[in-house]
Amino acid sequence: MKSKHVSIIGAGPAGLMAADILCEHGVQVDVFEAKASVGRKFLMAGKGGLNITHSEPLADFVNRYDQAHWLKPMIEEFDAQKVIAWMESLSVSSFIGTSGRIFPTEMKAAPLLRRWLSHLKKRGVRVECNHYWEGFTDDGSLRFSTAKGEKILTSDATILALGGASWPSLGSDGAWVNILARKNIAISPLLPSNCGFKTTWSHYMDPYFGMPLKNVLGWVKNDSGEIQKSSSEAILTSYGIEGGLVYALSRPLREELITHGEATLYLDLLPYVTIAQLTALLAPSGKQSINNIWRKAGLDSVKIALIREGLPKDKWSNPDCVASFTKEYPIKLTGMQPIEEAISTAGGVKREALTEDLMLRNLPNVYCAGEMLDWDAPTGGYLLAASFASGRFAAKGILKSLLNDGIHPNHNAIALR
Ligand SMILES: Cc1cc2nc3c(=O)[nH]c(=O)nc-3n(C[C@H](O)[C@H](O)[C@H](O)COP(=O)(O)OP(=O)(O)OC[C@H]3O[C@@H](n4cnc5c(N)ncnc54)[C@H](O)[C@@H]3O)c2cc1C
């Protein structure tokens, strides 16, 4: 029996995971990648240690996504335990960090990617780099520009795993939006996520740029009074503020910015003391300088600078004012960093444009996976987890459709695992 042939466009985590499932079931897979090498963003994620997934309970895990209902069945099929087992199958061990985040022991992406590619190659997956997908011909074939000119290719099914639009130098440029929009596919605008936010600091803050704000609690209030919180580290920058705490709040902050043109990030600079305790600690004592009193109360140099920056000087000796400002420090944000500098992309192909199996309703036999789908999540391993899981899900959707066609892709593969 002639085996079925699937084209996967985009050799990131989603596309490669789809290839993994399909080749395991005897499907002939060709992966096409625009850049000269594969998985460039994955490798970049490895520079930060490759936080590949998270160990928290599945219900909490799934709730990290704005589209929890949509992603739940995908994540359930490839939860953290399965990600760990998959890495082990490639002889890559992992560990759970103190925050519950899961990393490969080597804290790099390159060894995992190398072994993964070798495994795929052994199973017959062909990877063609320097193939930039330009869209479809009138008869639905795939158009690529390559160093040797235009190539037109056909396959039984296609998976688009083209990523979002952040860090376009690594390959994902979001150009697919126009191609799919022309096919009347509903797409939420691509927006920066897990990104820094802009604010205006005075020159007084210049020496503190690049310095971390440690052990702070941040929150955002929306119009209905709902509060979203994050406790982690933030970093002051010349343009504003970035870091894990801000990334975790990037969705509500972005929504406030879109609705009101500005957003307020509140920080509790000393979350481990109550306002009453802090007021007592800030009481004037002998001839001690203000800086000394503040330091003894637990404020480090960056936090002290922030208070001097934001609180009028005539209030510095008033323990009540300093305590309440420390416990609810407002930072007015006026914009987001550009998508090119964001860690990830919100927006993408909308759920209603896809079948349950991630096939585009308007383009039969064309499936989508990964960050190009319309979901958003904070950092913490959730981005890679959903990219892997949706890549697998789309591949399984194709396998189901091949089975429904009455053509078994591989007579050795009895059931879909
Ligand atoms: C600095 C940084 C650090 C990160 N760290 C983490 C982390 O620790 N944990 C985590 O969970 N996530 C992290 N992420 C996010 C994570 O890397 C992405 O969510 C993930 O790579 C998305 O996978 P994907 O396969 O959907 O897309 P991508 O990885 O973007 O892959 C898409 C591929 O498609 C190719 N492509 C695009 N357009 C075309 C075209 N027209 N023709 C052919 N090929 C095309 C691209 O070149 C690319 O190789 C990080 C991201 C960045 C930028």
Residue 214 CA from chain centroid, whole number: 23
| CA atoms within a 13 Å half-sphere pointing along the CA-CB vector of 173 | 11
**pLDDT at residue 410 in the model:** 53
Q: Please, which pLDDT band fits residue 2 given cuts at 50, 70 and 90?
A: low
Shortest-distance atom of ligand 1 to CA 172:
37
- Residue 335, SS3? strand
Dihedral sign, Cα of residue 306, residue 260, residue 383, residue 69: positive
Q: Which of 162, 180, 393 to mutate to test the pocket of ligand 1 (most atoms within 8 A of CB)?
A: 162
Indicate the pLDDT class of residue 223, thresholds 50, 70 and 90: confident
**How far apart are the CA of 151 and the centre of ligand 1, in A?**
24
Q: Which two tokens stand for residue 190?
A: 């691509």
Spacing, Cα 279 to ligand 1 middle (Å): 47
CB count in 10 Å sphere of residue 97? 14
Q: Is the CB of 32 under 6 A from ligand 1?
A: yes
Tell which atom from ligand 1 comes closest to the C-alpha of 171: 47
Band of pLDDT at residue 404, cut at 50, 70 and 90: confident
- The pTM is what? 0.94
pLDDT (tens digit, 9 = 90+) per residue, 82-133? 999 999 999 999 999 989 999 999 999 999 999 999 999 999 999 999 999 9
Nearest CA to ligand 1 atom 47: 171
Question: Are 133 and 148 a contacting pair, CB within 8 Å?
Answer: no
Q: How far apart are CA 370 and CA 383, in angstroms?
A: 9
pLDDT exceeds cutoff 90 at 196: yes
Q: Is 243 in the pocket of ligand 1 (CB under 6 A)?
A: no
Residue keyed to tokens 């804290």:
107
Report the chain's mean pLDDT, rounded to a whole number. Answer: 95
Instruction: Evaluate: CB of 119 within 6 angstroms of ligand 1.
Output: no
Q: Report the distance separating Cα 65 and Cα 191, nearest Å.
A: 16
- CA–centroid distance, 93 to ligand 1, in Å, is 22
CB 230 within 8 A of CB 219: yes
Residue labelled with tokens 């990030």: 265
- Is the shortest distance between the CB of 132 and ligand 1 below 6 Å? yes
Alpha carbons 101 and 78: distance in angstroms, whole number: 16
Least Cα distance to 9 among 175, 123, 149 occurs for 175
Contact partners, residue 29, CB within 8 Å, separation at least 6 = 5, 6, 7, 8, 19, 22, 23, 120, 124, 125, 126
Say which residue, 96 or 2, is predicted with more confidence.
Answer: 96
Instruction: Classify domain 5-192+346-404 by CATH architecture.
Output: 3-Layer(bba) Sandwich (3.50)
Report CA(399)–ligand 1 centroid distance (Å).
24
- The answer to whether residues 37 and 84 touch, using CB atoms and an 8 Å cutoff, is no
Are 190 and 165 in contact, with CB atoms under 8 Å apart?
yes
Q: Is 388 in the pocket of ligand 1 (CB under 6 A)?
A: no
Domains of the chain by residue range: 5-192+346-404, 197-336
Cα of 66 from ligand 1 centre, angstroms: 19
Ligand 1 pocket, residue 14 CB under 6 Å = yes
